[in-house]
Each structure stands twice: as C-alpha cells, then as structure tokens.
Structure 1
Amino acid sequence: MESATSSGSQSSGSRGRAVLVAAGLAILGLGLASIISIPVALAYSALTNTAVGDLGIVAGLAISLVSLHGIAFPLVAWGYVRRRGVGWSFVPASMPSLSAVKYIVGGYLGAFGALIVISMLVALLAVEPAQNSAGTAALENPGIIPYLVVLQFLLVGPGEELLFRGIIQGSLREHFDAWPAILLTSMVFAPIHITALSGGPAAVATTIGILFVPSIVFGYLYEKTDNIVVPALTHGLYNATLFGITYLGTQIEQTPELLAL
C-alpha cells in the first residue's frame, strides 16, 4: 500500500503533466496552423489569380481563420481523442435543450455585461489595450463584417471551444475540480490570442487579461451543461455582437470602445 506522501507526490506529478499537456495542445494548434496556412494561402492565391505576396489583410485574415479554427484546432482535437482512444464521446455535443438555451442567453449577457464594465474601467484608468488584427481588418473593410459574423458561428466558436473547452478543459477536469480546470484553461486560452494582437507589452497584457472574462464564462457554461454546443454558440454570439458594434461604428465614423477590447 502506498504511503500518503507517495500518493500525494504522484497526484501532484499527474496534475503537473496535465497542465503541460494542456499548454502543449494549444501551442501545437498554433504551430500546425502556421504550417497549414502555407497550402491554404497557395490555394487562395491560385483561385483568385493573385500573387501570395499581394493577398492583403482581408485575404490574410480569411486564411488565418480557415487554417487555425477550421483545420488546425479540429485536427489537434481529433489527434487527442484518437491517441487516447476515447472517441468523440469525450466531448459531449447535442442539440441544446430549453434549459441549455437559458445558459446560452445568460452566459452571453453575463460576458457582454462584464465587458461593458471592463471597458468603462479601462477608459477610467486610461489604459490602452492592444489592437486586434480581425478588428482592424473589419474597421478598414466594413464590407467583410457580415462574413466575419457568419464565420464566428461556423469556425471560430466551434473551433476554439472544441479544443479549449472540449479537449483541454475536459482533460484538466480529470485531474482538477471544476473551477481550477476552468481557470487553468483560461490561462491557456487567453495568451494564445497574442498572435492576433499588436501593441506594446502593457497593451497586449491588458487585452490578454480582458480575454479571461469571456473564457471563464464559456468554461462555466461547458461545466454546467456538459454540451460543447452551448459554449460554442455563446462564443459565436459574443464575437458576432462585437463585429456588429464595429459595423455600427463604421457607419457613424467612430471607433467603439468595446472594439478595442
């Protein structure tokens, strides 16, 4: 029979490995996306008869969304469940019930309400958040916003939630209680957005910190409903609303404060 000290040491080691695996899965997703983006860019270039070096910000954004959320994240998730031999039952998914819809609405309102409070606090403290490449592209090219809204539901929400809530939070949940798993997942989720941010270290750190808020909400929704469709839809709705605000900002020729967040 193992001693309490030995058992505790093994448990601590198992948890440490789980956290490293979680971080590794996110990094693997980013690395895989950078590789996948090459053939995707070449295919886009061939279809549009445009030189790869002349694709521009809109094409670059489209290539990034497809490569990262549409291909890389799902591939990493597939590789994880295949390697462990657990199948897709590891990530429960079903049509949301009426009670689940209530969670979607409540989560959306909670996340967006928190964002409004944070935007006022950021303005009060005169903190400058980092610029987001998707937001910048949308401001400069308002015509792409309807497409970006659709992609939040088709690619971004499903892709990010599948990997981060379904796989990463699900794997951490095997070693931690609910809230530690949700917080650890958010500590992995928020920093990976650094690839889409531009600005000084303080600005980037501010934006990454802000991203913890919706991440915690999405993690909570997954924990409560055990249905990946719920945070995926909430995530898509949340992002789509921000792009909707962006579009309104372009019509009145003002940059909404929420866009910076």
Structure 2
Amino acid sequence: MSSEFDSVNEAGGSVSGDAVRDVLRALLAAVVLSVVGIVAGGLLVVAAALVLGVAGVQVTPLLSIVLSLVLATGFGFGGVALAYLRYRGIGADYVGIGVPSLRDVASVIGGYVAAMGFLVIASVIIRTLGAEAASNSAAEVGLQNPEILLLLIPASLLLIGPGEELLYRGVVQNRLSEALPAPAAIVLASLIFASIHYFSLTGMPRARLVSISVLVLPTLVFGTVYELTDNILVPALIHGAYNATLFGMLYLSLPYADSGQLPQTLLAIVGV
C-alpha cells in the first residue's frame, strides 16, 4: 500500500528534490482533503437547517445531530472521498474494500481492544498528571439530551466509522503513503484527523491540545490495522465499535453527571 523513498542522492544520501516535492504535494493534498471534507459537510448541514427553517421546522438538538451525521459525516466526508477517487480516475481498489476474512475479523477484535486499552492508559496519565482535558461538544449535547446518545450508538457503526475512515484512512492516509513510508503516513494521517476535532472541543487551548493528544491514540490503531489488512471495512468496524462503546459508557454514566464524577477523558474523546 505504501511506497518508500526511492530517490536518494548518491553523494550525500539526502532525499532528492523530486521526492521532497512528492512529499509536499501529498501533505498538501491530505490537508486540503480534510478541510474540504469539513467545509462540505458543514455547508450541507447549514443549507439543510436553512431549508427546514424556511419550511417552519424547528431544528432541535436531536435533529441537528441527525443532520450532522447524515450530511456532514455521510455525504460530506464520504462524498469528498468518492469525488477525489473519481477526480484521479481510480476505483474502489484504491481504498481496499472486501468481505472481511477471518484474519480481518481477528484484526477488528485486536484493534478494538488496543484502542480501548489506549483510552484507559490516557485516562490514567491525565489523572496522574492532573492535566485538564477539554470536553467534546457532542458529549455535552448528549448529557442534556440522553436520547441523542442512544441514536449515536448505531450511527457510530453505520455512519461515523465508515464515513470518517473512508476519508481519513482510505484517502488521506493512502495519499500520504504514496510519498512516505507507511509509519510516517499513519502518524501524519492520525495527527490530521485528531487536529480537525479542535473546534468540536470546548475549553482553553491547552485543554484542547490535551484532548487532541488523546484522540491521536485510537487513530494510530485504526491506521495501523488498515495498513496491515488493506481493507477499509476493518478500521471502519473498529472505529464504529469504539465510538459506540464510548457513547454507551457515557449514557450509563448519566446518573453521575450532576456530581461531576464523569470521567474527564471520556468527555474529551467520546466524539472521535
């Protein structure tokens, strides 16, 4: 899936100018795709809200979440990914779509366990250091409207996981892999994905950076498993199951919401 740096200067062992330009183009493409995905999804949601407003339909928090899931994650992220594939004249083989094998199923289970393990480790570190993590806006809305959390559980498997993985692993990570070794592409794609959540977090910049550093951990798992299996359905299933678990945990934690005993890391990472 990935391509290594092949062009090396024989005299000094440095990467050639063509290789550097390839890397810069790949980075630019990855960032542009991420921004376009967010902007396209946001515009679709705003347009739908305006149409509903003109029609006299009140956009409730529940309806707002539904619009975001369907239009932003589904049509926004997924649509941009598909448009990119068409623009380059490449098919679905580029992202790797196939019926999961037994090895893929094992990778889903192992990846899910690893992602949840990283969450536990991050929680312990944050608590030990006394660091403050920012809350995710989706989690805060869910606390006020518990029915939204129940909606987000199946949506994680059907929309959030597939839509985000198609764009950020299937397209962004693959594009980076065309110019970089696989480990570098995985890390960069994970950093880009985690960084886009900055504006969905609430709190001081330092707290948001703490949350983003936590968000990077499960995405590294998604990217690694994708690289190993070359099947986009595998990270999509891990991502969906991971998110569904977090939303379920948050729903079960609602009795403790007023006591301030909700796990801070859970509030920070629940919208990944």
Contact 1:245 1:256 in 2 (8 A): no
**Secondary structure class of the residue paired with 2:120:** helix
- Counterpart contact for 2:133–2:208, Cα < 8 Å: yes
Counterpart of 1:97 in structure 2 is 101
Deviation of 1:194 after TM superposition, in Å, equals: 1.5
Residue identity matched to 2:253 = G
Matches of 2:103 and 2:85, distance apart in 1: 28
Q: What do residues 191-232 of structure 1 show as CA deviations (whole Å, max 9, x unaligned)?
A: 111221111000111111111101100000100000000000
Q: What secondary structure does 1:241 align onto? A: helix
Partner of 2:229: 225
Q: Percent identity?
A: 39
Q: Distance in 2 between matches of 1:44 and 1:256?
A: 36
Structure 2: distance between partners of 1:130 and 1:59: 25
The structure richer in helix per residue is 1
Aligned to 1:112: 116
Do the aligned residues in 1 keep the contact of 2:135 with 2:203 (CA within 8 Å)? yes
Match of 1:65 among 49, 69, 77: 69
CA displacement at 1:46 relative to structure 2:
6.7
User: In the alignment, which of 29, 34, 50 is matched to residue 57 of structure 2?
Assistant: 50
Secondary structure of 2:99's counterpart equals coil
The alignment status of 1:15 with 2:23, answered yes or no, reads: yes
TM-score by length of 2: 0.88
SS at match of 2:106: helix
| Equivalent residues in 2 for 1:181-192, closer than 5 Å | 181-192=185-196
Structure 2: segments with no counterpart, 5+ residues: 1-6
Task: State TM-score, norm by structure 1.
Answer: 0.92
**Unpaired runs of at least 5, structure 1:** none
Provide the rounded CA distance (Å) in 2 between the counterparts of 1:57 and 1:131: 17
Q: Check whether the contact 1:242–1:258 (CA below 8 A) recurs between aligned residues.
A: no
Query: For the residues of structure 2 that align with 1:78 and 1:129, how far apart are their CA atoms?
Result: 34
Counterpart of 1:260?
267
Deviation at 1:43, TM superposition (A): 4.8
Distance (whole Å) between structure 1 residues aligned to residue 256 and residue 190 of structure 2: 34
Which of 141, 150, 156 is residue 152 of structure 1 equivalent to? Answer: 156
Counterpart among 34, 52, 74 of residue 26 in structure 1: 34
Work out the CA distance in 2 between the residues paired with 1:200 and 1:95. 44
Moved over 4 A (4+): 43-47
Letter in 2 for 1:124: T
Q: Residues 61 and 141 of structure 2 are in contact (CA less than 8 Å); yes or no, is this contact kept in structure 1?
A: yes
* 90-99 or 33-42, which deviates more: 33-42
User: Which residue identity lines up with residue 118 of structure 2 in the other structure?
Assistant: A
What is the CA–CA distance in structure 2 between the aligned matches of 1:156 and 1:103, rounded to whole Å?
19
Displacement, 1:58? 3.0
Aligned residue pairs, count: 256
Task: Establish whether residue 195 from structure 1 lines up as the match of residue 199 from structure 2.
Answer: yes
Shift of 1:63: 2.1
Moved more, 181-190 or 140-149: 140-149
CA contact (8 A) 1:101 1:230 kept: yes
- Alpha-carbon RMSD across the aligned residues, in angstroms, is 2.0
CA shift, 1:19, in A, is 0.6
CA distance in 2, matches of 1:7, 1:138: 49
